[in-house]
């Protein structure tokens, strides 16, 4: 399976699966105690995917316990994003020295209802996509952008904080009209499988448009030579 994989640069590690597997760490078990079995299965699988990717970097047993805004902190050397929905789970991971943030999202391939579309559509949203699923793609693009922006420290709280221009060739541009400090566009990609629509956004650390509000101290930055050699390693898909 190579769905979100196809939407991201090759150097971003991706794990995707339709299955359920893995186990939670004790702190995660505490967090998810009382959640529905569906929620626990999806959360467990996506965390197992993330830990497999991290194991390739020599990082083991990293817990993903959501904080109050829903994000689970990643280890200092990497940035990542997770998505899980019925029949699909995926994780993407990149090096923090190169990427400020990543956002991935998958949604079931069902058009939005008119009511939901009206709730999330920004007046400046534009779509040149004529596919009947364009509304689901728009929604997913906003979710992926939201995850990337939230991880980057940009103050985005609502679908209407994000304006999307969907291109018919599988690309989209996102702008943040209500966040004046972010003047440029984020570039993303979208795709459709038989059962899902999916989107991915990466925010490069070198982008001229952004003054990252959460710069890390240089002592936390990984050794570049070591990372170049890790970059060359094969990306392992789970299936």
* Residue recorded with tokens 């993330």: 50
Smallest distance from the beta carbon of 154 to ligand COA, in angstroms? 10
3-class state of residue 229 by DSSP: helix
* Nearest partner of 129 among 164, 161, 181, judged by Cα: 164
Using CA atoms of 120, 125, 127, 133 in order, give the dihedral in degrees to the nearest 10.
Answer: -10
Smallest distance from the beta carbon of 202 to ligand COA, in angstroms? 13
Work out whether 5 is an interface residue with ligand COA (CB under 6 A). no
Smallest distance from the beta carbon of 167 to ligand COA, in angstroms? 18
CB 78 within 8 A of CB 95: yes
Q: Which of residues 101 and 227 has its CB atom nearest to ligand COA in the complex?
A: 101
Smallest distance from the beta carbon of 107 to ligand COA, in angstroms? 7
* Residue recorded with tokens 């509304």: 135
* Nearest partner of 42 among 105, 90, 104, judged by Cα: 90
| Subset of 206-225 contacting ligand COA (CB under 6 A) | none
**Chain residue at closest Cβ approach to ligand COA:** 70
Smallest distance from the beta carbon of 79 to ligand COA, in angstroms? 10
| Subset of 15-44 contacting ligand COA (CB under 6 A) | 43
Please count the residues of this chain forming the interface with ligand COA, following the rule CB under 6 A: 23
Tokens representing residue 206 in the block: 């070198």
Burial of 42 (0-12, 13-18, 19+ CB in 10 A): buried
Work out whether 147 is an interface residue with ligand COA (CB under 6 A). yes
| Subset of 61-90 contacting ligand COA (CB under 6 A) | 64, 66, 69-72, 82-85
Work out whether 150 is an interface residue with ligand COA (CB under 6 A). yes
Residue 79: partners with Cβ closer than 8 Å, 6 or more residues away: 93, 94, 95, 96, 99, 100, 101, 102, 151
Work out whether 12 is an interface residue with ligand COA (CB under 6 A). no
CB 89 within 8 A of CB 50: no
Smallest distance from the beta carbon of 151 to ligand COA, in angstroms? 5
Terminal Cα-to-Cα distance of the chain (whole angstroms)? 6
Fill in the per-residue mask, 109 to 128: x = in contact with ligand COA (CB under 6 A), - = not in contact: -----------x--------
Phi-psi region of 52 (alpha: psi -120 to 50; beta: other; left: phi over 0): alpha
Q: Which of 95, 146, 154, 172 binds ligand COA (CB under 6 A)?
A: 146
Q: Which of residues 16 and 105 has its CB atom nearest to ligand COA in the complex?
A: 105
> Which secondary structure element, helix H or strand E, spans residue 95, and what is its range?
strand 88-95
Smallest distance from the beta carbon of 71 to ligand COA, in angstroms? 4
Binding site for ligand COA (CB under 6 A): 43, 46, 64, 66, 69-72, 82-85, 105, 120, 139, 142-143, 146-147, 150-151, 158-159
């Amino acid at each position: 399976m190579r769905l979100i994989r196809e939407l991201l640069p090759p150097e971003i590690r991706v794990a995707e699966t339709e299955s359920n597997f893995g186990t939670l760490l004790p702190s995660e078990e505490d967090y998810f105690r009382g959640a529905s079995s569906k929620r626990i299965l999806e959360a467990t699988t996506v965390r197992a995917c993330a830990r497999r990717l991290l194991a390739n970097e020599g990082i083991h047993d990293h817990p993903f316990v959501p904080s109050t805004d829903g994000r689970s902190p990643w280890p200092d050397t990497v940035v990542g994003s997770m998505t899980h929905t019925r029949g699909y789970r995926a994780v993407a991971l990149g090096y923090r020295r190169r990427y400020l943030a990543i956002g991935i999202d998958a949604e079931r391939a069902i058009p939005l209802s008119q009511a939901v579309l009206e709730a999330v559509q920004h007046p400046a949203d534009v779509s040149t996509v004529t596919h009947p699923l364009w509304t689901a793609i728009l929604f997913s693009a906003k979710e992926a952008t939201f995850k990337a922006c939230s991880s980057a420290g940009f103050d985005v709280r609502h679908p209407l904080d994000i304006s999307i221009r969907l291109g018919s060739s599988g690309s989209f541009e996102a702008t943040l009209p209500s966040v004046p400090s972010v003047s440029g566009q984020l570039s993303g990609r979208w795709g459709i499988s038989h059962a899902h629509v999916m989107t991915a956004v990466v925010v490069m650390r070198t982008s001229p448009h952004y003054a990252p509000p959460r710069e890390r101290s240089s002592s936390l930055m990984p050794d570049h030579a070591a990372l170049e050699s890790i970059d060359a390693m094969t990306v392992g898909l789970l299936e």
